[in-house]
Amino acid sequence: MMPSKLRMSALLLTAGLCFTARSAVQVTIDNKLYQYDNKPRLAEVLAPVALERNWYWPAAALYQLDSPEPEQLRAELLALIGELLAQYQGDAAAQQSLQAIKTQLTSWRLAKRLAISIDYDAARIKPALNPRFGNGAYLLQLSTRPNHIYLFGAVETEVVLEHRPATPVVDYIVAANTTALAEQSKAMIILPANKMATAGVAYWNQTYSEVMPGAQLFIPLKTSMLDTRFAKLNQGLSELAMHRVLP
């Protein structure tokens, strides 16, 4: 049975696997490997790179590379898509939507994202925002302010759109080619800080929801009371998307 949620660590105090006898902690930042014999705190890890560029801290992300959980969930979702494709062989709309999602899901780069706030100044000042790393291998992804959003789900192909200030969600959806089974009344916004929000996009429930730069926009499949597997697929996709390693 598919887990309802991937376990996301609030702190890095749980122990990971020790990759080498000499280096208990390995952190890759900007394609450079940093190794620590001890278990460093976040501020220590950020110190060598914090002032190199004008980092956009809301989009900073820390991934645990030695966790199998994201790949396990991907395998379960692909198996679920396979079941649906087999059952709805004569339904062209279902086939189109499911094949498109399968293609997107297969291409994703995944790693377990840890649910911590990353900010160098905050980590230096507040002990609660300066957790200690457990043993293992990590990817710390930093970037300057992003200028794109990533739209996926019930669309013919996943698209990267230029971020436009003061632009509601519905305007981004218009720029994408949604599939026949796309949900018409709502979309899910996955914020760079790895939080999720729902935006109404139909004429009767439309809300003004602005998308932050670097966010993901998920167009879910229509759900059916007769087949709850579509709702399960939507839930799994939104959950797994939080563990994508984006460019």
Model confidence pLDDT, tens digit, residues 113-159: 999 999 999 999 999 999 999 999 999 999 999 999 999 999 999 99
Please give the angle made by the CA atoms of 77, 80 and 83, to the nearest 5 degrees: 155
Share of the chain above pLDDT 90, in %: 79
Rounded average pLDDT over 84-91 = 96
**What letter does residue 238 receive in the DSSP assignment?**
H
Residue 131: alpha-carbon gap to chain centroid: 22
pLDDT score at 15: 37
Task: Look at residue 194 and tell me whether its pLDDT is greater than 60.
Answer: yes
Pair type for strands 112-113 and 136-141: unpaired
Count CB atoms within 10 A of the CB of residue 241: 23
pLDDT digits (tens, 9 = 90+) for 14-73: 334 333 345 799 999 999 999 999 999 999 999 999 999 999 999 999 999 999 999 999
Q: Tell me whether residue 206 is exposed, middle or buried, using C-beta atoms within 10 angstroms of its C-beta: 0 to 12, 13 to 18, 19 or more.
A: middle
Give pTM, 2 decimals.
0.87
Q: What's the CA gap between 76 and 4, in Å, rounded?
A: 12
Task: Give the chain's domains with CATH numbers.
Answer: 25-67+112-141 (3.10.20), 69-110+146-241 (3.10.560.10)
